[in-house]
């Protein structure tokens, strides 16, 4: 925890050397919180996520033990949306390929040999239209792209709304994922879904790696059906250095750092700690993921 937040704990909580005796935990996405771990932490009262996703926390197990789980829905919104656009531009403008040519010391007519994509007029398909998806739509609209949204739980609010995921896939020139990882969304984008995309389409994933079946994505890139992918997330993180998606000129990859900006970190830590302390004081936090524990 950054030292600048320590004053928030004064008079309410202290940091313990033995985590199994903790009453509260500030949780990153790297640890799996489930019944097995909870059995070793009998005093645990609250888990505060420094982010929005809670796929590494078993909510039924936490609720069964009356452990409050909080998240920070707004923390990663702006930075993750901006990173989505960074990946979009890098992969469609084929920045990695162009840079590689310079590193190889190539000579000649670079202009004629490069085939970046102009985004104006292209269809940007968004799967998931929560806080991050909405922000991405606002930003990408400045490129004069056509927005199309698929989210069975949210209205598109002025953008084109696809009646089904298949409809969106068939229309999208760029597919961008902004949905949580659940049992229903695990490997949602598999070989059959990737085949529905236009030949030459692009995939951007700043949500969760497990939403995409990686071998199918690799195959779609290798056979030329997809032109490229921008990935901030992988099914197993960090991916090994020899991961087949990492060493491709048509893939721009980052290690799950879309929200790793100074502004986002400040908001994530401060909000997570504030809610953690609220629970310890007996106050209901504003972003309680399992509200049934408060009954």
Query: Above 70 in pLDDT, residue 29?
Result: no
Residues of the chain with pLDDT > 70, as a percent, come to 100
Average pLDDT over residues 83-107: 96
Superfamily, domain 3-75+261-294: NAD(P)-binding Rossmann-like Domain (3.40.50.720)
Q: Nearest Cα to 26, choosing from 55, 2, 61, 7?
A: 2
Average pLDDT over residues 216-229: 98
Average pLDDT over residues 162-172: 98
pLDDT at residue 5, as a whole number: 80
- In whole angstroms, how large is the CA radius of gyration of the chain? 21
pLDDT at residue 31, as a whole number: 83
Mean pLDDT of the chain: 94
Of the listed 256, 270, 281, 292, which one is catalytic? Answer: 256
Query: Domain ranges in the chain?
Result: 3-75+261-294, 77-253
pLDDT, tens digit (0-9, with 9 covering 90-100), for 118-160: 999 999 999 999 999 999 999 999 999 999 999 999 999 899 9
pLDDT band of residue 2 (cuts 50, 70, 90) is confident
pLDDT band of residue 288 (cuts 50, 70, 90) is very high
Comparing 162 with 74, which gets the higher pLDDT? 162
Active site residue 256: yes
Average pLDDT over residues 178-201: 97
Query: Above 80 in pLDDT, residue 19?
Result: no
- Return all residues near 129 (Cβ < 8 A) that are at least 6 apart: 137, 149, 150, 151, 154, 155, 156, 157, 178
Average pLDDT over residues 26-55: 90
Instruction: Tell me whether the CATH fold assigned to 3-75+261-294 matches the one assigned to 77-253.
Output: yes
Average pLDDT over residues 261-283: 94
pLDDT at residue 80, as a whole number: 97
pLDDT at residue 227, as a whole number: 98
pLDDT at residue 52, as a whole number: 87
Of the listed 49, 134, 178, 208, which one is catalytic? Answer: 208
Give the range among 25-29, 67-71, 76-80, 164-168 with minimum mean pLDDT.
25-29
Q: How far apart are CA 178 and CA 198, in angstroms?
A: 20
Classify domain 77-253 by CATH number.
Answer: 3.40.50.720
Query: Above 80 in pLDDT, residue 110?
Result: yes
Of the listed 106, 237, 283, 284, which one is catalytic? Answer: 237
Show the CA angle centred on residue 256, arms to residues 18 and 184, nearest 5°: 90
Query: Above 80 in pLDDT, residue 169?
Result: yes
Residues of the chain with pLDDT > 90, as a percent, come to 86
pLDDT at residue 295, as a whole number: 77
Reported pTM: 0.89
Query: Above 70 in pLDDT, residue 196?
Result: yes
Query: Above 90 in pLDDT, residue 27?
Result: no
């Amino acid at each position: 925890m950054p030292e600048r937040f320590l004053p928030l704990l004064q008079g309410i909580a202290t940091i313990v050397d033995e985590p199994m005796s903790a009453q509260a935990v500030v949780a990153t996405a790297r640890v799996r919180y489930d019944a097995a771990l909870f059995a070793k932490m009998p005093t645990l009262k609250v888990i505060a996520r420094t982010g929005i996703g809670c796929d590494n926390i078993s909510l039924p197990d936490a609720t069964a033990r009356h452990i409050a789980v909080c998240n920070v829905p707004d923390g990663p919104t702006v930075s993750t949306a901006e990173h989505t656009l960074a990946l979009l531009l890098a992969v469609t403008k084929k920045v990695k390929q162009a840079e590689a040519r310079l590193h190889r010391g190539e000579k000649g007519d670079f202009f004629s040999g490069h085939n970046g994509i102009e985004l104006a007029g292209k269809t940007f398909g968004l799967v998931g239209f929560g806080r991050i998806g909405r922000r991405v739509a606002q930003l990408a609209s400045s490129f004069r792209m056509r927005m199309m949204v698929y989210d069975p739980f949210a209205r598109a609010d002025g953008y084109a709304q696809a009646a089904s995921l298949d409809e969106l896939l068939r229309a999208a020139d760029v597919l961008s994922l902004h949905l949580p990882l659940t049992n229903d969304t695990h490997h949602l984008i598999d070989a059959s879904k990737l085949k529905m995309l236009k030949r030459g389409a692009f995939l951007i994933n700043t949500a969760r790696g497990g939403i995409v079946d990686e071998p199918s994505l690799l195959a779609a890139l290798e056979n030329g059906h997809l032109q490229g992918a921008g990935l901030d997330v992988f099914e197993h993180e960090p991916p090994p250095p020899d991961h087949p998606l990492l060493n491709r000129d048509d893939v721009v990859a980052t290690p799950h750092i879309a929200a790793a900006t100074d502004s986002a970190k400040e908001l994530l830590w401060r909000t997570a700690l504030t809610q953690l302390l609220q629970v310890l004081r007996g106050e209901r936090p504003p972003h309680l993921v399992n509200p049934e524990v408060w009954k």
